[in-house]
Structure formats: structure tokens, C-alpha cells
Amino acid sequence: MSSFEISIKGKNFTISVIYLKDISLNSLEEQLLKIVNKSPKFFKQAPVVLNVSELSYTVNWNYIKDVILSAGFLIIGVSGCKNLDFKNIILNSGIPILSEGTDISQSNFYKKSISYSKFPKTIKTKFQTHIINIPIRSGQKIYIPNGDLIIKNNVNAGAEIISDGNVHIYGIMRGKVLAGANGDITSQIFCSNLFAELISIAGEYWVLEQIPEKYIGKTVSIYLKEQSLIIQCF
């Protein structure tokens, strides 16, 4: 007799979160379609979590869900819901309620994933530069608030690097790299080998398909000029 075994393991995945606010459904659909049309290959059937913390609990949830689905996204859960009645409406529509975990900031990342005591475990100053010497693996996420981040190694595909300031990567840059996460339009990204799945500065972003081929694999700086991303070879 053959036997079957099922194992359950925890895995880290990078999932986009859509933060909903009280706007008209037409406006919501229009904004979503603009996002999708910028990078249809990246966002087509992309799994997303909907954050409803700023959404009125009197809205028609089923209409909102239909608008999200019609734009091509796949809803895997809802976060930020604190109203019991609204939670029941969401659950009855077949969408699970998720408990938000904390972002893997510098202190959590070192403590849980690296356990490398030479790195500082807290951010002691308002604006500080943080240096990481080891590779960033797929599924890992690093967020540096109020500071610059320097990585002296590779960032692998599936990793996510976020900083409120500048990001420097002196290895192969794959994965997602976001600078100026707090909206600072003067932030820049510097890397020695550009292969990123996504680059972003202050909310303006390109996915790999949008990056001009002449810059792939090159040593570049990336910055904002008149709300557009600019890439320049060193």
C-alpha cells in the first residue's frame, strides 16, 4: 500500500499591497488600470493583499472586490480591517482576513535571519548609513527607515531592498530595490551590475521589461528628474 505524506513549511513571498481609500469606484478602476498598463506583464494576475484600514466600513465591498479582479489582480487576502461586521462581509465574499506581520527592518533582519553581532541592532540616530556585507537571499526583505543602505554583495532575485534614503549595491542587483520610500525625491540608487526585477524612487518605478537594454548589467546611478526615472552609466 502506497502512503502519502503532506508537509507544511513556512515560506517568505514578496506580495504587493494595495492601500484602499474612500474614492469613487470609477476613480479606483481608472487608477488601477493606469498601474496595470504601465507594466502589464508584471501586474497581470499578480497576487495582492488589500489594506482597508483607511476604507469606510459602509462601502459596498463586493463592488470593490469586482473592480480589483476586473483590473487583473488576484486577491489573496485583506489586512487592516478592525470592524467585525466588515470582516464578516469580507469573509463571506470568500476572501481571507490576514494579520499583518512586521516588515523585516534592519534590527529584525539581523536578529532573525543573519544573527551577525557586528551589525547594529537599533537605529540610534535620525539619519544613518547602514552597511551589509553578506548576500541578500531570495525572499528576504530589508527596510532601512531614515537612512541610506550600502550592500557590498549580491541581491538575489526575489529579495526586496527598501530604504528611505539612497541605496548602494556593489554586487549584482536583482530583486526589487526601492529608494526614497518615504517620498524623498532626491534619493538615488547606485549599483555595479543592474539586473533588478523592479527599481523605484519615491514611488516612481520601472520593472525589468521597462529598463532600456543598454543599461542591463552595467554600473549605473538611478535618480528622479521631473518625476521620471533616469539611468546614467558611470
Sign of the Cα pseudo-torsion (162, 33, 50, 95, in order): negative
pLDDT (0 to 100) of residue 7:
62
Residue 117, pLDDT score: 33
Report the relative pairing of strands 147-151 and 128-132 from DSSP bridges.
parallel
CA distance 155 to 170: 9
Looking at the chain, the domain(s) classified CATH 2.160.20.70 span 106-233
The model's confidence at residue 221, banded by pLDDT at 50, 70 and 90, is very high
- CATH 3.30.70.260-classified regions of the chain: 16-92
pLDDT reading at 27 higher than 50: yes
Q: The dihedral of CA 144, 148, 152, 156: what is its sign?
A: positive
Q: Using CA atoms, how far apart are residues 95 and 93, in angstroms rounded to an integer?
A: 6
| pLDDT at residue number 40 | 66
DSSP letters, 87-114, are HHHHHHTT--B-PPPPP-BHHHHIIIII
Name the percent of the chain lying above pLDDT 70: 78
* Residues recorded for the chain: 234
Residues 6+ apart with CB under 8 A from 70: 29
User: What CA–CA distance (Å, rounded) separates 163 from 181?
Assistant: 6
Give pLDDT, residue 28: 83
In terms of DSSP H, where are the helices of the chain?
25-38, 40-43, 61-70, 84-92, 106-109
pTM score, whole prediction: 0.51
| Cβ-contact 80, 52 below 8 angstroms | yes
pLDDT of 219 reads: 95
Q: Tell me yes or no: is domain 16-92 CATH 3.30.930.10.
A: no
- pLDDT, tens digit, 9 for 90 and up, residues 123-139: 334 568 899 999 998 88
Q: What is the pLDDT of residues 37-79, one digit of tens each?
A: 766 666 677 788 898 988 888 888 998 899 898 888 889 999 8
Q: Residue 181's closest CA among 160, 151, 209, 202? A: 202
Considering the domain delimited by 106-233, tell me its CATH architecture.
Answer: 3 Solenoid (2.160)
